[in-house]
């Protein structure tokens, strides 16, 4: 599926952030993008469900998130840059897609998840206040990610999430909060972003 990203980019343009941070992106993904990926009609509803009430607490804020997933361990093979496991092999989004290739990988992970636990409607649920509350839990998350069971399940990949939290995650989350407040992704470097 990843080899189809040039086709998606041709349809939606080179600026991935303008694509991902547009109004009703969940509908665009479910009703347009999935159709471009040649999934059979009967298998196109894997992102149609709202799992917000049961979302995994380690999902990084943004449009994609998981609820209660299966424990088959398929997510990281489909989207290694975006999906990780807790100590029970339940999947969550540790980093939102950063480009079209990662977007298609996350869609692929959603497509093979047996419980259809992926959602792409996070933008209708997240608020700046919820993002701030989530960010305040980062020390707790890092402690949990350093647990030996989590390390064993992820084969050391949990360090990707820890590294992300300790580096570019704060800026990414502040940009997302700007989007939530303004309805568009900040494009200028000197844009004043919300504090966390």
| Cα 32 to Cα 52: distance, rounded to the nearest angstrom | 22
Among 36, 40, 27, smallest CA distance to 7 is for 36
Residue 30 CA to residue 107 CA, distance in Å, equals 10
Q: Where are the beta strands (DSSP E) in the chain?
A: 65-66, 83-85, 91-93, 118-119
pLDDT at 4: 64
The CA distance from 168 to 135, in Å, is: 13
Q: What is the pLDDT of residue 6?
A: 75
pLDDT in tens, the chain (196 residues): 556 667 888 999 999 999 999 989 999 999 999 988 887 776 788 999 999 999 999 999 999 999 988 777 778 889 999 999 999 999 999 999 999 999 999 999 999 888 889 999 999 999 999 999 999 999 999 999 999 999 999 999 999 999 999 999 999 999 999 999 999 999 888 999 999 9
Q: Under DSSP, is residue 7 helix (H, G, I), strand (E, B) or coil?
A: helix
User: Contact, 117 vs 91, CB < 8 A?
Assistant: yes
Query: Residue 188 has which token pair?
Result: 């200028």
Report the pLDDT value the prediction gives residue 1, as an integer from 0 to 100. 57
CA pair distance 180, 106, nearest whole angstrom: 22
CA angle, residues 98, 100, 106, in degrees to nearest 5: 75
Backbone angles phi, psi at 134, to 5 degrees: -60, -45
List, in sequence order, every beta strand (DSSP E) within 12-139: 65-66, 83-85, 91-93, 118-119
Q: Are 174 and 196 in contact (CB under 8 A)?
A: yes
Residue 173, SS3 per DSSP:
helix
List of residues 6+ apart from 118 with CB closer than 8 A? 46, 47, 51, 64, 65, 66, 69, 106, 109, 110
Residue 3: its pLDDT value, please?
62
Phi, then psi, of 137 in degrees rounded to 5: -90, 5
Q: Is the dihedral of CA 62, 115, 100, 102 positive or negative?
A: positive
């Amino acid at each position: 599926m990843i080899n189809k990203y040039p086709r998606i980019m041709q349809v939606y343009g080179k600026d991935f952030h303008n694509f991902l941070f547009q109004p009703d992106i969940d509908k665009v993904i479910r009703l347009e993008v999935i159709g471009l990926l040649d999934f059979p009609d009967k298998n196109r509803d894997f992102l149609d469900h709202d799992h917000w009430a049961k979302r995994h607490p380690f999902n990084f804020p943004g449009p994609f998130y998981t609820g209660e997933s299966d424990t088959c361990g398929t997510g990281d093979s489909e989207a290694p840059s975006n999906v990780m496991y807790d100590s029970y092999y339940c999947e969550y989004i540790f980093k939102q897609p950063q480009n079209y290739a990662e977007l298609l990988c996350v869609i692929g992970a959603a497509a093979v998840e047996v419980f259809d636990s992926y959602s792409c409607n996070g933008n209708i649920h997240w608020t700046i206040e919820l993002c701030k509350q989530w960010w305040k839990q980062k020390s707790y998350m890092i402690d949990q990610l350093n647990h030996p069971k989590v390390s064993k399940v992820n084969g050391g990949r949990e360090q990707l999430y820890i590294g992300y939290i300790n580096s570019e995650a704060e800026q990414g989350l502040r940009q997302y909060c700007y989007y939530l407040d303004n309805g568009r992704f900040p494009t200028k470097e000197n844009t004043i972003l919300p504090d966390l």
